[in-house]
Amino acid sequence: MTDQVIDTLPELNRVQVGLLHVFIQHTSASITINENADPDVPADLESSFDHLVPERFPHRHTVEGPDDMPAHVKASMLGSSVWVPIAEGRLCLGTWQGIYLCEHRNRGGSRRLVLTLQGEWMPVA
């Protein structure tokens, strides 16, 4: 979702140096930064988390379905936000890095992000 974040912030290209904070307002999805070049990576991440946090575990919180509590655990493992440095109007992600919104429910709904951009603006020419 790196491109979606960039497209949402047209003022990003005016930041000389700064930080972007990306926060997700949900407890069953998460935000992380990871390898973004190979399409196998998201699938491998999902299968790894499903192995670590299986739905068949005897959770107490099951009112919202068998995938809900595992989604909360996975979201806690990855976290609800990331910070990305900015230099000369660009996110300072590594060559292979991208921002991921990780959906941990089998059929997650719409998700809301809060993007906070702070920094020193480039002089207007």
pLDDT tens, per residue, the chain with 125 residues:
999 999 999 999 999 999 999 999 999 999 999 999 999 999 999 999 999 999 988 989 988 889 999 999 999 999 999 999 999 999 999 999 999 999 999 988 899 999 999 999 988 77
The CA distances from residue 71 to 57, 62, 92, in Å, are: 12, 11, 29
Query: How many of the other CB atoms lie within 10 Å of CB of 43?
Result: 10
Which residue is associated with the tokens 């700064």? 18
pLDDT for 117 = 97
For residues 51 and 9, give the distance between their C-alpha atoms in angstroms, rounded to a whole number: 36
pLDDT for 123 = 84
Q: Are 31 and 101 in contact (CB under 8 A)?
A: yes
pLDDT for 124 = 78
| DSSP structural state of residue 39 | T
Fold of 2-119: Jelly Rolls (2.60.120)
